[in-house]
Amino acid sequence: MRVLTTVAELQALADAEHAAGRRVALVPTMGALHAGHLSLVEVARARVDRVWVSTFVNPTQFDDPADLARYPRTPERDLRACREAGVDLVFAPSAAELYPDAADTWVEVGALARPLCGRTRPGHFRGVATVVAKLLLAARPRLAVFGEKDFQQLAVIRRMVRDLLLDVEIVGAPIVREPDGLALSSRNQNLCPESRAQAVVLCRALDRAEAEHRAGETDAGRLLAGVRQEIAKASRAEIDYAELRDPVALEPSPPRLRGPALLALAVFFRCGAAPDAPRVRLIDNRVLRPRRERARREG
């Protein structure tokens, strides 16, 4: 497995792979790898000849410097995990490599980036879109794989690729969960034991909404009320948002659901009993589908 740190090296290798007729996939990550990331590697491996992983903690997508400082960094463990997973190359650039002095060019996606995380984390998706564009231009992959846990991020990246006419396929991969249902996330490492135990309310809230929807409930207000009631059972949880949105345009769902609806959650969990204790923000989602569409997809 090769490890590269400069864009020039990566682009030269990408040119060589293309000249040899080999298809390359990129799995962009911020390191602190877990089984969810490695599932993206498996999705990529089934489609291409070479799988490359980037491990770059992107400073421009953090609206809170303290959050950036707390983000877990495990470079040696990441390299070991990639080697064991059969990754062909790891790209681990410095911030200065991707953001040279006086860099002043940004990629901004419009409507898709404004609600949900875009509303509560100003500038977040500008940072995401910019760094992903840089990584795609550096690696020149035929496809790139992203997890569906970050549903809005996936939608933003797909729109960016479409609008900028980038020649790369964006593939979404299913959420991977712990045995108790908690979605795998690098941020889970920052949870204290009590908050980790309470974080399962995210999945339980999604399960409750899906069960009620399957039983015939289509009133968006009642579905969201049930979600909030479930999350309220966790004493250290504080809802950032809990919303029902169109899964394509991310516009608000109508008061009564008629088609698929994205149930998107973002919740802070306090890592301590004190009101001012550090908080870890986790996200999760589920697409609620009408009975007819469920039957088609499951049959």
| Closest residue by Cα to residue 124 from 53, 58, 196 | 58
Sheet with strand 237-245: strands edge to edge: 237-245, 261-270, 279-288
Instruction: Specify the pairing of strand 143-147 against strand 24-29.
Output: parallel
Instruction: Report the interhelical angle of 35-45 vs 75-84 (nearest 10°).
Output: 40
DSSP assignments along 244-284, one per residue = EE-TTT-PBPPSB--S-EEEEEEEEEESSSSTTS-EEEEEE
DSSP state of 113: G
DSSP readout, 181-221? Answer: SPBP-GGGGG--HHHHHHTTHHHHHHHHHHHHHHTT--BHH
Asked whether 27 and 145 are in contact (CB, 8 A), the reply is yes
* 37 carries an active-site annotation: yes
Encoded amino acid at 220, one letter:
A
The closest alpha carbon to 107, from 77, 144, 132, 139, belongs to 132
Question: Helix, strand or coil for residue 229?
Answer: helix
**Which residue of the set 18, 34, 37, 213 is catalytic?**
37
For the annotated catalytic residues, the residue numbers are 37
